Homo-oligomer: A and B are copies of this chain.
Amino acid sequence: MNETAFIERLRALATHPAARGLADDCAVLELGGETLILTHDLMAEGIHFVPGADMADVAWKLVATNLSDLAAKGAEPLGVLLGFMLGPDEAHFLEGLEEVLGHYGVPLLGGDTSSGGPPRSFGLTAIGRATHTPVPGRSGAVPGDAVYVTGPLGAAMTGYEALRDSSGEDSTHYRRPLARLPEGQALAPHVSAMMDISDGLLLDAARMARASGVTMALEAAAVPIATAEARRQDALRWGDDYELLFTAPADSALPVRTHRIGLVERAGSAPLLLDGVPLGEADRLGYEHR
């Protein structure tokens, strides 16, 4: 069985209404008058971080990327559980973990440690409660909605390059992404669909368009970028910025500063139009994690 087939079969196994889409989205579970949001991410050495990476940054990213999934649901985090593979640089991991949990005021609730590796891998489960129902998903965008992002893209890209090239430029945005929790909570009552941009704006917008059964018409020039103009096309395809991508009725008064980057149209031949040019999964839209 190839990997795509495996993931499809795993998704087929996740038939509970709470399972909105394995590996794509959070689980949404009604319980006792509350709506729980659950997400789990795996980070593997050599895949999600390079051997020798500062483990404080790895810890930060592990927590922040899961909290970003909660942010896209408008959820308030309740805590995290950590799966930690013991090994070198544990003191730095703890430092980063303490910093990120302190930054977000989120408690460590439990977890497990084990020897294993190299390569090592780490898992994190984040649990939160919805602050607004219905909980935003990927599939709610409708023709006529406007498309928005919460902030500029490309800062993680330049941060990654600074680190790779030891250029001395600031790499913070790559190493220490921020989860847009306040923005997600403020926006949840206003959006028709919302997700975080982890794998690149174009790829994630195409996923939202597919899930919603629409086409998204984006204007490249309208997308705010945090890099040189010459890198605009790269910034649209680079992930790791963790800004929120969402759709809302075009006349909505939104409670936070956002950037309107396009319009939702009826489904056409491709999930995306970028400046009128159809783009689909065959085009290089972003970063495909495996």
Measured CB to CB, the residues of A under 8 A from B are 1, 3, 6-7, 9-10, 13-16, 18-23, 25-27, 29, 31-34, 36, 38-48, 78-79, 81-86, 90-91, 94, 97-98, 101, 107-117, 119, 121, 123, 125, 127, 129, 289-290
Contact check, A94 vs B13: say whether CB atoms are below 8 A apart: yes
How many copies, total? 2
Residue from the set A25, A39, A117 with the largest chain B CB neighbour count within 10 Å: A117
Contact check, A121 vs B85: say whether CB atoms are below 8 A apart: yes
Q: Which residues of B contact A45 (CB under 8 A)?
A: 116
Report Cα–Cα, A106/B127, bound state, in Å.
Answer: 18
Contact check, B26 vs A110: say whether CB atoms are below 8 A apart: yes
Report Cα–Cα, A25/B47, bound state, in Å.
Answer: 30
Contact check, A108 vs B19: say whether CB atoms are below 8 A apart: yes
Q: Which residues of B contact A116 (CB under 8 A)?
A: 42, 44-47, 119, 121
Contact check, B33 vs A3: say whether CB atoms are below 8 A apart: no
Q: Which residues of B contact A91 (CB under 8 A)?
A: 1, 6
Which residue of chain B lies nearest to A88 when distances are taken between CB atoms in the complex? Answer: B1
Contact of A108 with B14 at beta-carbon distance under 8 Å, contacts A31-B32, A33-B33, A81-B27 already known? yes
Report Cα–Cα, A131/B285, bound state, in Å.
Answer: 48
Subset of 30 A-B contacts with CB under 8 Å: A6-B90, A10-B82, A10-B97, A10-B111, A13-B101, A13-B108, A14-B108, A14-B109, A18-B79, A21-B110, A22-B82, A22-B108, A22-B110, A22-B111, A29-B78, A31-B32, A31-B34, A31-B78, A31-B129, A38-B125, A39-B110, A40-B82, A40-B83, A40-B112, A42-B85, A44-B115, A44-B117, A83-B123, A86-B290, A114-B289
Q: Which residues of B contact A19 (CB under 8 A)?
A: 79, 107-110
Report Cα–Cα, A83/B98, bound state, in Å.
Answer: 23
Which residue of chain B lies nearest to A106 when distances are taken between CB atoms in the complex? Answer: B16
Q: Which residues of B contact A98 (CB under 8 A)?
A: 13
Determine how close the nearest CB of chain B comes to the CB of A12; give it in whole angstroms.
9
Report Cα–Cα, A161/B48, bound state, in Å.
Answer: 38
Contact check, A117 vs B119: say whether CB atoms are below 8 A apart: yes
Contact check, A113 vs B10: say whether CB atoms are below 8 A apart: yes
Contact check, A32 vs B33: say whether CB atoms are below 8 A apart: yes
Contact check, B34 vs A86: say whether CB atoms are below 8 A apart: no
Q: Which residues of B contact A83 (CB under 8 A)?
A: 40-42, 83, 123
Contact check, B107 vs A15: say whether CB atoms are below 8 A apart: yes
Which residue of chain B lies nearest to A120 when distances are taken between CB atoms in the complex? Answer: B121
Contact check, A114 vs B290: say whether CB atoms are below 8 A apart: yes
Report Cα–Cα, A94/B5, bound state, in Å.
Answer: 11
